């Protein structure tokens, strides 16, 4: 499965490279009046550079996965944890901690390279090494504060809750995720960014008018200092229930005209009106129930451990091992479903676009999108197969085409 996945990804990367390179010098006619040739070439070069980076990290990650499982890496760490730890419970926590630390360390050069070489080369990086280090430190603190209690509770359930521990484990997972979503806008996100209420009164009035028109109860309009990390612009909804707020990146506000911002927001409201967020949440929880049930069964099977290069302990619990193996190996088996998830996401994007074009002038969303493609150096000429497989958003030509049809 791993090999088939790697070959598929390499094949898709090759297709995308060829397609983007072939169209590097010609702006698609639909965009010729708004996007210059220099911009178009820059987008192509950025796309190509990112594919090369993705291929290298794909090969590296696959090697790490094989090293940890079939080549005995996890077994060695497990023996190390047994030698050091005093109790069975500490041994298991230690093992998860070591694996998490190892994976984070191996990933570090890639993250640094992406931010300070790749993104810098195209003028997107605004981060200093100092900010990077402080983000990383906060990330570690968050992982320990949130992750350690969750992991301890899960290990305890696996040991004590009997045959149906996975049902309890799933319940814990759902509660944990809902809590994180509730805490995110007011506690977690402000650890990394400053959020200030939108100061531009005429823009705020325009947005409130849109919210009233569409019957959306809004609990706040905030601007986030996204520019301290990256030049990429964005806008998002956050929070649950009555706690909903809209967050604009300052980079987005500085580039779009008020009527374009309204159109982007109308698109976001479209996601909300069509209940995309709720649908996704319900779907994610349903899938995680199936995964917990599967884990409950796999954890009992000796071949699950031995087949992946580890010897389960005969005199202690193997719950941490089961969790780690499951976490490492699941993506290999879910990869074939990527196109289904991408298709589902693109369907939602079309629905949100349609909603936006009913609520505001489609011309505004079109011009906002063109600016965003241009600013973010997003390619206008993706390979159709690559796009169908991975893209969460419809390709530019198709998306703008539909909006133009709605406008006329
Ligand atoms: Zn969207």
Residue 237 is predicted with a pLDDT of 76
Residue 264 is predicted with a pLDDT of 92
CA of 278 from ligand 1 middle (Å) equals 14
| C-alpha count within 13 angstroms, C-beta hemisphere, residue 130 | 1
CA of 198 from ligand 1 middle (Å) equals 21
CA of 248 from ligand 1 middle (Å) equals 14
pLDDT tens column, 188-198? 999 999 999 99
Strand partners, 246: 221, 237
Residue 220 is predicted with a pLDDT of 81
pLDDT tens column, 357-406? 999 999 999 999 999 999 889 999 999 999 999 999 999 999 999 999 98
CA of 337 from ligand 1 middle (Å) equals 21
Residue 272 is predicted with a pLDDT of 87
Nearest 10 degrees: Cα torsion 41, 256, 348, 408: -90
β-pair type (245-249, 221-224): parallel
- pTM recorded for the entire structure: 0.90
pLDDT of residue 164 exceeding 70, the answer is yes
Compute how many other C-beta atoms are within 10 angstroms of the C-beta atom of residue 294: 14
d(CA 47, CA 15): 13
CA of 148 from ligand 1 middle (Å) equals 34
CA of 201 from ligand 1 middle (Å) equals 25
CA of 392 from ligand 1 middle (Å) equals 9
CA of 340 from ligand 1 middle (Å) equals 17
Q: Are 143 and 100 in contact (CB under 8 A)?
A: yes
Q: Where are the alpha helices (DSSP H) in 69-128?
A: 73-84, 88-113, 119-121
CA of 1 from ligand 1 middle (Å) equals 32
Q: Are 105 and 80 in contact (CB under 8 A)?
A: no
CA of 247 from ligand 1 middle (Å) equals 14
Residue 313 is predicted with a pLDDT of 86
Render 196-244 in DSSP notation, one character per residue: EE---HHHHHHHHHHHHHTT-----EEEE-GGGTBS---EEEE-SGGG-
What values do phi and psi take at 402, rounded to 5?
-65, -40
pLDDT of residue 344 exceeding 80, the answer is yes
pLDDT of residue 243 exceeding 80, the answer is no
Tokens of 157: 């359930």
CA of 234 from ligand 1 middle (Å) equals 11
Distances (CA, A) of 313 to 304, 310, 321: 13, 9, 9
CA of 269 from ligand 1 middle (Å) equals 9
d(CA 323, CA 331): 13
| Cβ < 5 A residues, ion ligand 1 | 349, 352
Q: Are 193 and 251 in contact (CB under 8 A)?
A: no
CA of 349 from ligand 1 middle (Å) equals 5
pLDDT tens column, 255-286? 899 999 999 999 988 998 899 988 999 999 99
CA of 168 from ligand 1 middle (Å) equals 34
CA of 352 from ligand 1 middle (Å) equals 6
CA of 98 from ligand 1 middle (Å) equals 38
CA of 214 from ligand 1 middle (Å) equals 17
CA of 253 from ligand 1 middle (Å) equals 17
């Amino acid at each position: 499965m791993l090999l088939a996945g790697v070959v598929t990804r390499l094949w898709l990367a090759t297709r995308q490279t060829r397609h983007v390179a072939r169209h590097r010098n010609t702006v698609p006619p639909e965009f010729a009046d708004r996007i210059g040739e220099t911009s178009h070439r820059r987008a192509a070069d950025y796309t190509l550079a990112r594919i090369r980076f993705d291929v290298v990290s794909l090969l590296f990650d696959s090697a790490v996965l094989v090293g940890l499982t079939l080549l005995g890496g996890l077994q060695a760490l497990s023996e190390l944890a047994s030698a050091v730890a005093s109790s069975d419970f500490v041994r298991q926590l230690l093992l998860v901690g070591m694996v998490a630390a190892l994976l984070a360390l191996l990933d570090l050069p890639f993250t640094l390279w992406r931010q300070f070489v790749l993104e810098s080369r195209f003028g997107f990086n605004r981060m200093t090494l100092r900010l990077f280090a402080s983000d990383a430190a906060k990330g570690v603190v968050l992982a320990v504060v949130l992750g350690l209690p969750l992991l301890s509770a899960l290990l305890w359930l696996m040991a004590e809750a009997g045959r149906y521990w996975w049902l309890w484990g799933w319940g814990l997972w759902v509660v944990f995720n809902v809590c994180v979503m509730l805490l995110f806008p007011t506690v977690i996100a402000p650890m990394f960014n400053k959020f200030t209420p939108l100061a531009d009164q005429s823009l705020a009035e325009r947005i409130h008018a849109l919210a009233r028109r569409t019957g959306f109860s809004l609990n706040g309009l905030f601007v986030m200092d996204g520019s301290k990390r990256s030049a990429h612009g964005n806008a998002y909804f956050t929070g649950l229930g009555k706690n909903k707020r809209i967050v604009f990146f300052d980079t987005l506000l500085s580039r779009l005209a008020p009527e374009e911002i309204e159109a982007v927001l109308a698109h976001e409201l479209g996601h909300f009106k069509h209940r995309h967020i709720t649908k996704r949440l319900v779907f994610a929880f349903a899938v995680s129930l199936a995964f917990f049930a599967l884990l409950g069964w796999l954890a009992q099977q000796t071949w699950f451990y031995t087949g992946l290069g580890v010897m389960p302990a005969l005199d202690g619990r193997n719950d941490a091992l089961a969790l780690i193996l499951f976490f490492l190996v699941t993506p290999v088996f879910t990869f074939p479903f990527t196109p289904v998830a991408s298709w589902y996401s693109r369907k939602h994007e079309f629905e949100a676009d349609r909603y936006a074009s009913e609520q505001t002038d489609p011309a505004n969303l079109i011009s906002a999108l063109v600016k965003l493609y241009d600013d973010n150096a997003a390619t206008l000429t993706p390979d159709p197969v690559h796009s169908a497989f991975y893209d969460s958003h419809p390709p530019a030509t198709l998306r703008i085409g539909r909006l133009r049809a709605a406008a006329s």
